Amino acid sequence: MTPDEEPLHGGNTSDGVVRVGDTVRRPAGPQTPAVQAFLAHLHAVGFHQAPRPLGLDEQGREVLSYVPGELVHPDRRDLLDPDRALVEIGRLIRRFHDASATFVPPADAQWRVVIPDVGADLVVHHDLAPWNVVASDDWYLIDWDTAAPGTRLWDLAYAAHGFVPLTADSASARPDPDRRLRLLVDGYDLDEADRRRLLDLLPTRTRSMYDLLARGSAAGVEPWLTLWRAGHGTTWLDNTIYIEEHAALWRTALLDER
């Protein structure tokens, strides 16, 4: 690492990610050309709440524009407390998905698929969560390494888990999670049919994370092995059970069924 490189931390897989001036450098992979093409498309169609792709550097690392601001997780989750924040995040995700809908991937596109989706309508982020959001003059989405074909609802179900949050952990929970879920989904402007589909996906998406860590741990694959040993698997399973046990609460919030 050279003197002008500042290591960047956050999330669970930030090894090798550094800031150099107004750019971010990170290890490239087979998915990098497709991700850079995708980010270029988002900016071309007017979605600017993501880093700009700047190719590769002389070391073969991916280069992105640096997004200044505060990383929401772990120290500024309070920024998500106001009602307007949940609505704005919902609108942000909707604008991103709408911008993605017109993207045509390169014929030779390769993606880093961590968890197979239940469909492939468009390219989605696959890790929409507070640890990938920077708060500045607006909300910005970062860490697009696992962007890949998927569905709007798969992305939104994961976002609901993290932003509401839908959690069994009393230290992380916020009051009235059902109301907060409604704010996020209203911000996205989801219609009734898709709200019903989303309700079914909420526990499925969360359990998929538990399954990922369990498989990865058993196979000795990083970073899943380290995360499993740190107790993340238990957290995802507890949250899945919590979501399942409160299914009636989420249904009432999203469908006004009492």
Quick check: 257 pLDDT over 70?
A: no
What is the average pLDDT across 145-151?
95
**Own/partner long-range contacts of 72-78 (Cβ < 8 Å, ≥24 apart):** 72/130, 72/131, 72/133, 72/134, 72/135, 73/10, 73/11, 73/129, 73/130, 73/131, 73/133, 74/131, 76/135, 77/130, 77/172
Please report where in the chains the tokens 């979605």 appear, as a residue.
47
Q: Is the pLDDT of residue 144 over 70?
A: yes
| Whether pLDDT at 232 is above 90 | yes
Mean pLDDT of the residues in the chain: 94
Q: How confident is the model at residue 250 (pLDDT cuts 50, 70, 90)?
A: very high
Residue 9's pLDDT band (cuts 50, 70, 90): confident
- Chain segment 67-123, per-residue pLDDT in tens: 999 999 999 999 999 999 999 999 999 999 999 999 999 999 999 998 877 788 999
User: What percent of the chain shows pLDDT beyond 70?
Assistant: 96
pLDDT in tens, 171-228: 999 999 999 999 999 999 999 999 999 999 999 999 999 999 999 999 999 999 999 9
Structure tokens at 49: 């709440």
Amino acid 241: pLDDT: 98
Per the CB < 8 A criterion, the answer to whether 148 and 120 are in contact is: no
CATH superfamily assigned to domain 70-255: Transferase(Phosphotransferase) domain 1 (1.10.510.10)
Omega of the bond leading into 3 within 30 degrees of 0 (cis): no
Domain layout of the chain by residue ranges = 6-65, 70-255
How would you write the chain as a 3-class SS string?
Answer: CCCCCEECCCCCCCCCCEEECCEEEECCCCCHHHHHHHHHHHHHCCCCCCCCEEEECCCCCEEEECCCCEECCCCCHHHHCCHHHHHHHHHHHHHHHHHHCCCCCCCCCCCCCCCCCCCCCEEECCCCCHHHEEECCCEEECCCCCCEEECHHHHHHHHHHHHCCCCCCCCCCCCCHHHHHHHHHHHHCCCHHHHHHHHHHHHHHHHHHHHHHHHHHHHCCCCHHHHHHCCHHHHHHHHHHHHHHCHHHHHHHHHCCC
To the nearest 10°, report the CA torsion of 13, 232, 69, 32: 30
Q: Does residue 221 contact residue 147 with C-beta atoms inside 8 Å? A: no
Average pLDDT of the residues in 34-46: 98
pLDDT cut 90: percent of the chain above it: 90
